[in-house]
Each structure stands twice: as C-alpha cells, then as structure tokens.
Amino acid sequence: MTFINYALPVPKSYYTHYFTILTFILLLRSKTYTMTIDLFIPCFIDQLFPDTAWNVVKILEKAEMNIRYNPNQTCCGQPAYNSGDIKNTLKLAKKFLKDHPGDVPIVVPSASCAGFVKKHYPELFSDDDNLKEKALNISRNIFELTDFLINKIGFTSFGATFNHKITYHDACSALREYGIKKEPRILLNNVEGLELVEMKENETCCGFGGTFMVKFPPISTAMVEQKVKNAMETGAEYIISTEASCLININSYIKKQNLPVKTLHIADVLSSF
C-alpha cells in the first residue's frame, strides 16, 4: 500500500487489514453476475467512512455486478490538481491508469473524483502519445455510482427501507462538472418509507470546495451555515449526498452547533435492505 502526502494520518496496519479483507471476501463470493466492474473508492471514503465503502459493495452486488477491486489503488490526484501541484497530479494520475486497465466500467461513489478523471485526465495527457489514448479510454469508462446504476445498467430500486424524512444536497462537482441531478433522486424516491423534501437553494455550494474551506474558513463557515439552515427548514432528519467530502464539511458544522440533523452518503441509504 502506497500512502501519499494528501492522505490523513491513519495507521497503515488498519488499511492493510481493511483492503486485504475486502479483496479476500470479493474473491470468495460465488454468484451469477451480469457485468464485471472495477471499483474505485475515493480517499475520503476509504480513510474516514469504510462502512460506506462496504455499503457500495453491498448495493453493487445486489445489482448483480462482479466487483474487481485493486488493493494497490490510492488517490486519483484531484487534491494535488486543485492545489496547482501538477507534478504530483501526473504522478498519481499515471498510477491510476496503471491500477485500472479500463477494460470494464470503473464505478466511483463520488462524482467529484469521477468527474475529475473524466474531464481532466485527457487534458493532462494530451501531449503524451503513450498515455493519451488510455486516458481517453478511462474517461469514457468511468462512472459515478448513481449515474452507473440509472443510466448504464437501468437499476432503480434495491428494495431498501429508510423510514425518515431527508433532503438532498447537490454537490457542485456532481451537478456542474459531472452532470448528475435526477439520478440520485430517482434512487432515493424508490426507497420504502423515505420522504424526500427539497431544500431552498439546493444547487448552492456548501462551502467545502476542496481546499477552499481551509484557505477561506470565514466564508466557508457562512456558506455551510446557510446550507444547514435551509436543510433544517425542511424538517429533514438527514442530509444526503453523493459526496462524502461535502458531508464532512456539513457535518462538522452540525456537530459544532449541536444541531438535530444528520448526514449520510447515498450508498448508506440504498444499502438499507
């Protein structure tokens, strides 16, 4: 396992154990599958929300996907890119191309990471004849989770039950860069017992913006305050999103203010079966 500077400090033994178990279990499971996919787990999820990663596996298997997981995978390079560090971006992007052959769809439970690979990898390798075609192929074959479920395989319901009122946060990267909006809502509306109530200004940024929240904390705090206020005005018990990164920012404000609302990744809701 290779650890990069952008990773949060978590004991290496934890990840070695986690990835070994995940790979071993996926190899042992014997089922009839309709398609083989590669699973890429973003940094925020594999480091801070491993249960969400397991829930992604759970719902993809329910959709009869044969999951390939490369335990050597690390970061896609987006944090470095957003910070202007092109040298390390290229280093990580080349590793991503090596880790994922691109012969099957790559499914990612994050539109931010999937959108970065899809939109920017072809640009990063535009002057590299050896890697340009592979980057284009990866770009065509990478999918955010809800996009894959709805538009690639037409899977709209998992038989999940979630007896709560929720509101949905449209992350900037999901909405504007990757281009999903209806897909998460279709899936959520097919969850038994779930009531989806839209918040005001649901397309407005929560204030995360990658390193934006670190560089401009007063502005970021004001933005997330308004986001949470709009969410709570709906009476929702949970704020749901496709983006763990946004949810970290939103949840930090909620905990700081001791507010009666929670956050969940959409995979955690869809896996409630």
Summarize pLDDT for 192-240 with one digit per residue, the tens.
Answer: 999 999 999 999 999 887 778 777 888 989 999 999 999 999 999 999 9
pLDDT at position 29, please?
60
Least confident of 11-20, 29-38, 58-67, 172-181: 11-20
Q: Would you place residue 30 in the very low, low, confident or very high pLDDT band (cuts 50, 70, 90)? A: low
Asked if 237 and 213 touch (Cβ cutoff 8 Å), the reply is no
Question: 80 Cβ partners below 8 Å, 6+ apart?
Answer: 6, 86, 88, 89, 92
Q: Which residue in 92, 113, 93, 98 sits closest to 43, CA to CA?
A: 113
Q: What is the pLDDT of residues 150-181, one digit of tens each?
A: 999 999 999 999 999 999 999 999 999 999 99
pLDDT at position 26, please?
60
- H-assigned helices in the chain: 12-28, 43-48, 50-62, 78-82, 86-99, 111-124, 129-141, 145-147, 172, 182-189, 212-215, 217-232, 244-257, 266-270
Q: What is the mean pLDDT of residues 121-126?
A: 97
Q: Which long-range contacts does 86-91 make (Cβ < 8 Å, 24+ apart)?
A: 86/124, 88/4, 88/5, 89/124, 90/124
**CA-to-CA distance for 21 and 211, rounded, in angstroms?**
32
pLDDT at position 33, please?
82
Angle at 102 between CA 156 and CA 61, to 5 degrees: 35
Q: Would you place residue 19 in the very low, low, confident or very high pLDDT band (cuts 50, 70, 90)? A: low
Rounded to 10°, the helix 244-257/217-232 angle is 80
pLDDT greater than 60 at residue 89: yes
Residue extents of the structural domains in the chain: 12-152, 165-270
Fold of 165-270: Rossmann fold (3.40.50)
Q: In the numeric block, which tokens belong to residue 179?
A: 């281009």
pLDDT greater than 60 at residue 18: no
Residue, of 210 and 82, whose pLDDT is higher: 82
pLDDT at position 208, please?
87
